[in-house]
Chains A and B, each alone.
Chain A
Amino acid sequence: MKDYEEYFRTNRLPHIWCPGCGNGIVMKSIAKAIAKLDLDQDKTVIVSGIGCSSRASGYMDFDTLHTAHGRAIPFATGVKLANPELNVIVITGDGDCTAIGGNHFIHGARRNIDLTVVLFNNNIYGMTGGQASPLTPTSKKATTAPYGVVDRPFDPCQLAQAAGATYIARGTAFHAAQLPDLIAKGIQNKGFSLIEAITPCPISYGRRNKLGDSPAMLKLMSESAVPLTAYGKLAPEQQEGKFPIGVLHESHFGEYSKEYSHVIERAEGGQK
Chain B
Amino acid sequence: MSQPKLMQGNEACALGALAAGVRFFGGYPITPSTEIAEQLAEQLPKVGGTFIQMEDEIASMAVILGASLAGKKVLTATSGPGFSLKQELIGYAAIAEIPCVIANVQRVGPSTGQPTSPAQGDVMQARWGTHGDHPMIALSPWTVRESFDVAVKAVNYAERFRTPVIILLDEVVGHMREKVVLPADNEIEIYSRRQPTKSREEGYQPFTPEADLVPNPADFGTGYRIHVTGLVHDDTGFPSGSPKITEQCIKRLHEKIDCVKDEITHYDEFFMEDAEIAVVTYGGTARTAYAAVEEARAQGKKVGMIRLMTIWPFADKVIKQAAAKCKALLVPEMNYGQLVMEIERAAAGQTKVVSMPKYNTEIFTPNEISGAIDQLLSEVAK
Contacts of B46 in A (CB 8 A): 267-268
Q: Kindly list chain A residues whose C-beta atoms are within 8 Å of the C-beta of B64.
A: 78
Cβ contacts under 8 Å, A41 to chain B: 225
Q: Tell me how far the C-beta of B248 lies from the nearest C-beta in chain A, rounded to whole angstroms.
A: 20
Beta-carbon contact of A75 and B62 below 8 Å: yes
Measured CA separation A80–B62 after assembly (Å): 12
Interface string of B38-64 (1 = CB under 8 A from A): 000010011111101011101110111
With CB as the reference atom, state the residue of chain A lying closest to B44.
A267
CB-based contact A107/B69 at 8 Å: no
- Residue interface bits A62-106, CB-to-B below 8 A is 1, else 0: 111111100100111111111101100000000000000001100
Contact B66 A77 (CB under 8 A): yes
Q: Give per-residue flags for B217-232: 1 if the beta carbon is below 8 A from chain A beta carbons, else 0.
A: 0001111111111110
A263→B66 CA distance, assembly (Å): 21
Residue of B nearest to A269 (CB): B46
Q: Which residues of A contact B24 (CB under 8 A)?
A: 78, 81-82
Which interface class (under 10, 10 to 19, 20 to 34, 35 or more) fits A?
Answer: 35 or more
Contact between A57 and B227 (Cβ–Cβ < 8 Å)? yes
Residue A253 at the chain B interface, CB threshold 8 Å: no
- In the bound complex, do residue A63 and residue B230 qualify as a contact, i.e. CB atoms below 8 Å apart? no
B45 with A266: CB separation less than 8 A: yes
Contact between chains at A65 and B69 (CB < 8 Å): yes
Given A74-B58, A75-B66; A81-B220 close (CB under 8 Å): no
Cβ A83 vs Cβ B70 within 8 A? yes
Give the secondary structure class of B's interface: mixed
A246 lies within 8 A of chain B by Cβ: no
Contact of A79 among B54, B58, B69 (CB under 8 A): B69
A45 within 8 A of B: yes
How many residues does chain B have at the interface if contact means C-beta atoms less than 8 Å apart? 45
Chain A nearest Cβ from B159, distance in angstroms: 15
- A266, B211: Cα distance in complex, Å: 44
Report chain A residues within 8 Å CB of B42.
267
Contact B55 A103 (CB under 8 A): yes
Q: Is the CB of B238 within 8 A of A58?
A: yes
**By the criterion CB–CB under 8 Å, are A79 and B26 in contact?**
no
In Å, the complex CA distance between A66 and B68 comes to: 15
Query: CB of A195 within 8 A of chain B?
Result: no
- Could you say which residues of chain B place their CB within 8 Å of the CB of A243? none
* B308 contacts chain A at the CB level, 8 A cutoff: no
Q: Is the CB of A79 within 8 A of B92?
A: no
B87 to chain A, nearest CB (A): 11
Q: For B62, give its contact among A42, A62, A71, A81 (CB under 8 Å).
A: A71
Per a CB cutoff under 8 Å, which of A43, A81, A83 touches B52?
Answer: A81
Given that A61-B225, A68-B88, A82-B72 are known contacts, is A74 also in contact with B231, CB under 8 Å in the complex?
Answer: no
Q: A42-B223, A81-B52, A82-B70 are in contact. Are A75 and B229 (CB under 8 A)?
A: no
List B contacts of A42 (CB < 8 A). 221-223, 225
Sample of 28 A–B contacts (CB below 8 Å): A12-B238, A58-B229, A63-B224, A64-B227, A65-B69, A66-B228, A67-B65, A67-B230, A74-B55, A74-B58, A74-B59, A74-B60, A78-B63, A78-B65, A78-B69, A78-B74, A79-B220, A80-B70, A81-B63, A81-B67, A82-B70, A82-B71, A83-B71, A103-B59, A104-B62, A107-B55, A260-B50, A260-B52
Where the two chains meet, the residues of B that have a C-beta atom closer than 8 Å to any C-beta of A are 24, 26, 42, 45-50, 52, 54-56, 58-60, 62-72, 74, 88-89, 92, 220-231, 238-239
Q: A63-B225, A64-B228 are in contact. List 19 more A-B contacts (CB 8 A).
A: A43-B221, A45-B220, A58-B229, A58-B238, A58-B239, A63-B220, A64-B226, A65-B228, A66-B231, A67-B92, A68-B92, A81-B24, A81-B67, A103-B56, A103-B59, A107-B55, A107-B59, A260-B45, A268-B48
